[in-house]
Structure 1
Amino acid sequence: MARSVEAKNSRARRLTAALVALSSVSVLSLAASVMEPVALQHPTAQGWNATSRAATGSAHPAEPDFADMIARVKPAVISVRVELDETQQTADGRQDGSPDSGGGGGAMVGLGSGFFISANGYAVTNNHVVDHAKSVEVATNDGQIYSAKVVGVDPKTDLALIKVDGSDFPHVKFADGRPRVGNWVIAIGNPYGLGGTVTTGIVSAEGRDIGAGPYDDFIQIDASINRGNSGGPAFDVNGDVIGVNTAIFSPSGGSVGIGFDIPAATAKAVVDELKEKDYVTRGWIGIQQQQISTDIADSLGLKQASGALVDETEASGPAAKAGIEPGDVITALDGATIHDPRELAQKIARMPPGTSATLSVLRNGATKDISLTLGMTPADRPPPVVAASDSGTAPPSEQNLGLLLAPASKVAGPGQKGMVVVAVDPNGGRAQHGLSAGDVILDVGGKAVSNAKDFRQDLASLRKQGRPAALVRVQSSDATRFVALPLQHA
Structure 2
Amino acid sequence: MKNSKVWKLPAVAIATLLAAYLPIRGRAQQAPEPPAPPAPPEASEIVPPMPDMIDLDAQLAQIGMGSAWMGVTIEEVSEDKTKELKLPAVRGVLLTEVQDNSPAAKAGLKPGDVITEYDGERVEGTTAFRRMIRETPPGRTVSVTYWRDAKSQSVSVQLESRQDEMQEAIQKAMPHEFVYRFGVGPNMFPDMPMMMGRTPRLGVEAIDLSGQLGEYFGAPDGEGVLVTDVLADTPAAKAGLKAGDVITKLDGDRVHNVGELRAKLVEKHEVKSVTLTLLRKGAEMSLAVEPQQPAPPKPSVSTGRHMSI
TM-score normalised according to structure 2 size: 0.38
Q: Tell me which of the two structures has the higher relative contact order, counting C-alpha pairs closer than 8 angstroms and 6 or more residues apart.
A: 2
The structure with the greater share of residues assigned to helix is 2
The structure with the greater share of residues assigned to strand is 1
TM-score normalised according to structure 1 size: 0.26
